[in-house]
Structure 1
Amino acid sequence: MVPAGDDSADAPALTVAAVARRLGVAPATLRTWDRRYGLGPSEHSAGAHRRYTAQDLERLLVMRRLTIDGVAPAEAARLAQAPDTVVPPTAASDDLTGRLPVGVPEVPALLGVPTPAGVPGRAAPGAGGVVALVDAALTGRADRCTALLDTAGTDLTAWWSDLVQPALAALARRTVVERPGVDARETLLGAVLAALRARTATPPPTGAPVVLLLPVPGEVRPVLAHVLAAALVDGGVDARLVAGPVSTRHAGELALMTRARAVVTLSESPAPDLSVVARLAGERTDLPQFVMVAEGAEDRVPLDRSVHRARTLPGLLHEALAAVAQSSVP
């Protein structure tokens, strides 16, 4: 465990009851964690009850956050006691999740997925990296988020599914009281975009095939569109994201103007307006379109030979690159 600050040694030791109130758990839970996983108080004076130090509390905070995110208690305890687990200070945001009587849905374990490691400052593989990223976002530390999200040598689809997406989901489950100017989700999204800008800083080669990413009317463009665009650039494509309102007429003009080899539309809405996709399919039967929508909205995807529905980010990336490669064959 790496202490969050240099003054932890001066912090007063805490009783079981005080720590239980801080974490929003029953004292019996703390005793169970002590007995089963060794996460007990380390300070002991003759004739007095054992008390929790600041370092003990940091380990328990990590344990609590991991279990809220669905990590098995034994694995959460192992990560909480790992020497490289970092807990940033929480002065800028009060995380109330552990104190509220909310149900936490079961989520798949985030551990055991191979991701690049060994880069200083980068988020560690698995749930520990997600926790560090979430804590940095909760405290408004954009620089820390950016360092944890370094994409050098990583596969962007894995980077998204193993780190960014779980962190966004974890933030969505948290109830926090934030200070003016602190927005955990916006801090994380800003760092994600910064990482993708750095990844694609080198312009694509002249003449690289263009893939156009169109917005859906009435929707905020999902950050996943930027991740896909950067992954397409990794594949040798000149990916361009269209911002602002796009009418059915504009879509065809943009495709012609950019000489797009393929068009991609992403939606997170349960009822997306895909009229632009349908109109473009009628005008440009030779132009492949790839559409990925939220679960339950599949029936809204227009049925057309040129329109292909993708179910996953890796699948969408593979199909789009294959279509571009096929269009380049004389």
Structure 2
Amino acid sequence: MATDGPPSAPTPIAASAGDGPALTVAAVARRLGVAPATLRTWDRRYGLGPSEHSAGSHRRYTADDVARLLVMRGLTLDGVAPSEAARVALESDIRADEAEPSRPRLVSVGGAAGGEARALDGSRATPTLVIDAALRGDEAACRRLLAPPEKDGYERWWTGLVEPARAGLVARTVLARPGEDADALVVGAVLAGLRDRTAPLARAHVAGRRVVLLMAAPDEPRPLVLHVLGAALAAHGVDARIVAGPVEQHRLIEIAAMTRPAAVVMVSELAKPELAVVAALADAQPDMPQFVVLADDAAARALPLGRSVHRARTFAGVLAEVLAVSS
């Protein structure tokens, strides 16, 4: 959820309503990582305001007030409508010592696909927990929460945990100090987890097995999902390799000639990607399957679709297609 001002990393709350001083709007905003204006809006619209009065009739938040606000914040970050999140927060009668470990959840990671992402210690991993850890700069927590699956479930892990966590960070991160990059912390944790998963699999690959090449479109940063797709393929025994360096037509034709790949996958997140390299590869190796994942339908009209060039629309779709031609 987008906030009304620059967020700060949340800090622990008091153990109960009677512990610690009652807090001002500004102090609670800093603890929750939202703007003071957001708290005033939640008070005005949903009744999630401070319950204690101090001298001079200034209203202050108790620890239990903050606990309910943590429920509100966590649910909205997970995609629940603010009005519904506020209703759950108000009806939960949650206390400060219960807020983080057992607050109500309406959205489970993975959605209708079933199952939940699990951290290394077996606890449930959620986008909210990842966002909070990244904003705190807690690299160890990010690594623990973002541990990838051992074999199946990469699509659910990517779409239900990693993608929404990164989207939530974009919404919440407005200003950062030099050297701070919460998204880079998440990306680093994802890449480290994928290395840990795929390193043993790489040693088991049979010499001479044909590889699958994964690449971004020319002049486009490599999407993180390429690494996730590569790990999912590796879990099924496919030797997937990501093209590093520039994706340039002559260079890519040379790489394909040297590696004789079982398939090539291009992923683009641009509205107007450069697709001439797809046609060039098809001319150079007309029997080599190419799968192109595009975010924009208009861009797909420029694809030289044919016997060897195909458009894939989803993570699950391209994974199934590549496994079919690599077996």
- Report if TM-score (shorter chain) is over 0.5: yes
State TM-score, norm by structure 1: 0.76
Task: Find the residue that maps to 2:264 and give its secondary structure.
Answer: strand
- Contact 2:25–2:36 (Cα < 8 Å) also in 1: no
Of residues 24, 32, 37 in structure 1, which corresponds to 2:37?
A: 24
Task: Find the residue that maps to 1:173 and give its secondary structure.
Answer: helix
Of residues 140, 146, 150 in structure 2, which corresponds to 1:149?
A: 146
Q: Which amino acid aligns with 1:256?
A: A
- Contact 2:211–2:260 (Cα < 8 Å) also in 1: yes
- Tell me how many residue pairs correspond in the alignment: 295
Aligned to 2:156: 158
Of residues 2, 5, 24 in structure 1, which corresponds to 2:12?
A: 5
Change (3 A) 1:192 1:252: same
Change (3 A) 1:31 1:181: same
Change (3 A) 1:311 1:25: same
- Cα deviation for residue 86 of structure 1 reads 5.9
- Contact 2:263–2:290 (Cα < 8 Å) also in 1: yes
Provide the rounded CA distance (Å) in 1 between the counterparts of 2:180 and 2:233.
32
- Contact 1:137–1:188 (Cα < 8 Å) also in 2: yes
Q: Which amino acid aligns with 1:115?
A: G
Provide the rounded CA distance (Å) in 2 between the counterparts of 1:79 and 1:196.
36
- Contact 1:217–1:273 (Cα < 8 Å) also in 2: yes
Aligned to 1:57: 66
Change (3 A) 1:196 1:79: farther
> Is it true that 1:278 corresponds to 2:287 in the alignment?
no
- Contact 1:171–1:184 (Cα < 8 Å) also in 2: yes
Provide the rounded CA distance (Å) in 1 between the counterparts of 2:190 and 2:118.
20
- Contact 1:122–1:148 (Cα < 8 Å) also in 2: no
Provide the rounded CA distance (Å) in 1 between the counterparts of 2:117 and 2:213.
33
> Is it true that 1:85 corresponds to 2:100 in the alignment?
yes
Q: Any gaps of 5 or more consecutive residues in structure 2?
A: 1-9
Aligned to 1:116: 116
> Is it true that 1:139 corresponds to 2:136 in the alignment?
yes
- Contact 1:228–1:313 (Cα < 8 Å) also in 2: yes
Q: Which amino acid aligns with 2:135?
A: L
CA deviation map 1:245-296 (0-9, x unaligned) = 1332222221232231101111111111112111010111110001001224
Name the % identity: 48
Task: Find the residue that maps to 1:300 and give its secondary structure.
Answer: coil
- Cα deviation for residue 63 of structure 1 reads 1.4
- Cα deviation for residue 59 of structure 1 reads 3.7
Q: How big is the alpha-carbon RMSD for the aligned residues of Structure 1 and Structure 2?
A: 3.5
Aligned to 1:213: 214
> Is it true that 1:76 corresponds to 2:85 in the alignment?
yes
Normalized per residue, the structure richer in helix is 2
Aligned to 2:304: 302
Provide the rounded CA distance (Å) in 2 between the counterparts of 1:156 and 1:324.
18
Aligned to 2:167: 169
Of residues 191, 194, 199 in structure 1, which corresponds to 2:192?
A: 194
- Superposed, 1:239-318 pairs within 5 Å as 239-295=240-296, 296-318=298-320
- Cα deviation for residue 239 of structure 1 reads 0.4
Q: Any gaps of 5 or more consecutive residues in structure 1?
A: 88-108, 326-330
Q: Which amino acid aligns with 1:313?
A: F
Q: Which amino acid aligns with 2:61?
A: Y
Change (3 A) 1:256 1:120: closer
Provide the rounded CA distance (Å) in 2 between the counterparts of 1:32 and 1:280.
57
Aligned to 2:231: 230
- Cα deviation for residue 40 of structure 1 reads 5.8
Task: Find the residue that maps to 2:313 and give its secondary structure.
Answer: coil
Provide the rounded CA distance (Å) in 2 between the counterparts of 1:117 and 1:238.
25
State TM-score, norm by structure 2: 0.77
- Contact 1:157–1:314 (Cα < 8 Å) also in 2: yes
Provide the rounded CA distance (Å) in 2 between the counterparts of 1:211 and 1:226.
12
Q: Which amino acid aligns with 1:134?
A: I
- Contact 2:49–2:65 (Cα < 8 Å) also in 1: yes
